[in-house]
Amino acid sequence: MEQAFQDYYPDDLSYCYGCGRLNPDGLQIKTYWEGDESVTRFQPRPYHMAIPGFVYGGLIASLIDCHGTGTAAAAAYRAEGREMDSEPALRFLTASLHVDYLKPTPLDAVLEIRGRVKEVKGRKVIVVSSLLAGGVECARGEVVAVQVPAEFLAAYRQGQDESAG
């Protein structure tokens, strides 16, 4: 079975509320390639409500955000011709998030976020995404993601090791 982009994140970098597989209270989204598009599917829960029957806008922004950073990482590995489990790990953070809310998003539908890589340039990746419910586009977003410098990750990990010991 194919692994999601987020499943390749190192354990110590897998606690994000939106995409961290090790955050038991988080959304734990999973993103995969489907051709040149990235796809995340997510079933909102009743507590993701804005008004009865519709999804809270913050959830929509979170889904587009974490979908975008995961896609950015996968795109960077692709651009370098590397597997996602190869070192050094490539991690991306959001530099900019823009979301347009087009229609109310129903709470009872599986949400599908479809992303396309608009640009890969140096440490920056731009991902444009559409959030659909029942095939209807409800929101559209753009994430400008920047790669976390390897020296920052190394310093972070060294700090974690020192605090554990």
Residues 29 and 37 sit within 8 Å (Cβ to Cβ): no
Please state which of the four CATH numbers 3.10.129.10, 3.40.50.150, 1.10.10.10, 3.30.413.10 is assigned to the domain occupying 5-164. 3.10.129.10
3-state helix, strand, coil in the chain (%, to 5): 30, 35, 35
Q: Where are the domains of the chain?
A: 5-164
**So what's the pLDDT on residue 17?**
95
- pTM of the prediction? 0.92
pLDDT at residue 26 greater than cutoff 80: yes
**So what's the pLDDT on residue 163?**
66
